[in-house]
A and B are shown apart, each in its own frame.
Chain A
Amino acid sequence: MNIKILGSGCRKCVALAENAKAAADAEGINVEIEKVTDIIDVARYGVMSTPGLVIGDKVVSSGRVLNPSDIGALLREAAA
């Protein structure tokens, strides 16, 4: 499954990427994590506040650092 972290490399984006990785490991789901850093590319997803989280091709959160268990639930939802 493809996960994208939207944001120009701020501290929160790093934290979100780490949480996503932890969530995927805990769920035993194989994911590739991609970082989208150019602000125009970020905005192309319709995201207005960073960091944004994209699972598959769906924006699931913006402006927040979700914790691993929240991301885990979203991953299960997307996998189902």
Chain B
Amino acid sequence: MQEIFIWLNDQLLRMQWLSDLVTMLVRDGFGLDTTGRIGGSIHFFIYDVIKIFILLSVLIFCISYVQSYFPPERTRRILGQRRGLWANTVAALLGTITPFCSCSSIPLFIGFTSAGLPLAVTFSFLISSPLVDLASVILLASIFNWSIALAYVAIGLVLAVLGGTLIGRLRLEDQVEAFVYQSPVSDPDNDGAISRRERLSYASAQVAEIAGRVWLYVLIGVGIGAAIHNWIPEGFIAALLGQDKWWSVLVATVAGVPMYADIFGTLPIAEALVDKGVGLGTALTFMMAVTALSLPSMIMLKRVVRLPLLGVFIGIVTVGIILIGIVFNATAHLFV
């Protein structure tokens, strides 16, 4: 039984067959040694790009199908019926099955807030939404392993629940632009009438749209990963981001926060860093910093909230992911 699981895991998730195929291609087709520098980079690049696009298409299809049952209006109704910490938890969980795009955060923020959802709940949702989704779980399991994937999700959800709760406690409702509260609440009741065919076509349209949006980030991410993998000296990375360097998590955060990419582009970089001996916590912090916070999304949010609230949001999330990195680095031996 366990052997079957390991085989499925290796072939379907880690795609060992693809790695072997690409090895053959690079060795016999290009005449390069895959353990060498150039051959190794080419292998990393081709294998990772194909693997990520296969996983991305399959995962986004499945998630979008599930997601078609939870349009934002329904999410809002569900959240409106919950109170306290439970509402934050449900918000964080629903955040995992909602759209990946940071561009949808503004309409969601306005829609939730104008309908009277507390800031605590809205922010739990906003933190969890880009940070954790089903695709990231499967990708992490594919590149690292299942315990790392599950730990990442659990910790992302905890950050979303605690971060949102903390923001709620600070009573910053007056730091939201006034027009947000005055926006009408529209709820065209059209989530019941969707047929299975419409859900399937919605899911395939999502795959096309998201692949079209992220393919460049994936190529850049894998390119950087391949460069780290074979060209940047290990000593340099170890000196900057090594396990024994207390500042490595801070460097990863400062580098990652302004960056805008999604989880698909970030993972190959994290993968290459961990291969080079960077602490698992440092790599995960980098991923979280890139996905949860980015300059474009902050500029968007600035249009609906005032600076103090924006600052509190950025501050809480930043401190949260730094702490997560430190804890993960200290406990990494449990996961590998």
Contact = CB atoms under 8 A, between A and B. Distances in A.
A1 interface: no
Nearest to B303: A40
B179 interface: yes
Interface in B65-112: 71-73, 76, 99, 103-104, 106-108, 110-111
B92 to A, nearest CB: 18
A12 B198 CA distance: 14
A10 B209 contact: yes
Contact of A43 (B107, B194, B205): B107
A12 B190 CA distance: 17
Contacts of A49: 71-72, 99, 104, 107
Contacts of B16: none
A10 B184 CA distance: 23
A11 B209 contact: yes
Q: SS class of chain B's interface: helix, strand, loop or mixed?
A: helix
B300 interface: yes
A16 interface: no
Nearest to B104: A49
Interface residues of B, number: 28
Interface residues of A, number: 21
Contacts of A64: 190, 194, 198
B255 interface: no
A42 interface: yes
B209 A46 contact: no
Contact of B106 (A10, A40, A61, A62): A40
B188 A40 contact: no
Given A61-B190, A62-B188, A64-B190, A44 B183 contact: yes
Interface in B167-225: 179, 183-188, 190, 194, 198, 205, 209
Nearest to B194: A64
Contacts of A40: 106, 110, 303-304
A7 to B, nearest CB: 10
B183 A46 contact: yes
Contacts of A42: 107
Given A46-B114, A62-B73, A62-B188, A39 B179 contact: no
Given A10-B209, A62-B188, A46 B72 contact: no
B300 A62 contact: no
B303 A46 contact: no
A43 B110 contact: yes
Contact of A63 (B71, B114, B179): B71
A17 to B, nearest CB: 16
A43 B106 contact: yes
Contacts of B76: 48
B103 A8 contact: yes
A60 interface: yes
Given A40-B303, A59-B186, A48 B72 contact: yes
Interface string A15-51: 0000000000000000000000001101111111110
Nearest to B115: A46
10 contacts: A39-B106, A44-B184, A47-B111, A48-B71, A48-B104, A49-B99, A49-B104, A62-B186, A64-B194, A64-B198
Given A40-B303, A45-B183, A46-B185, 7 more contacts: A44-B184, A48-B71, A49-B71, A49-B72, A49-B107, A60-B188, A62-B71
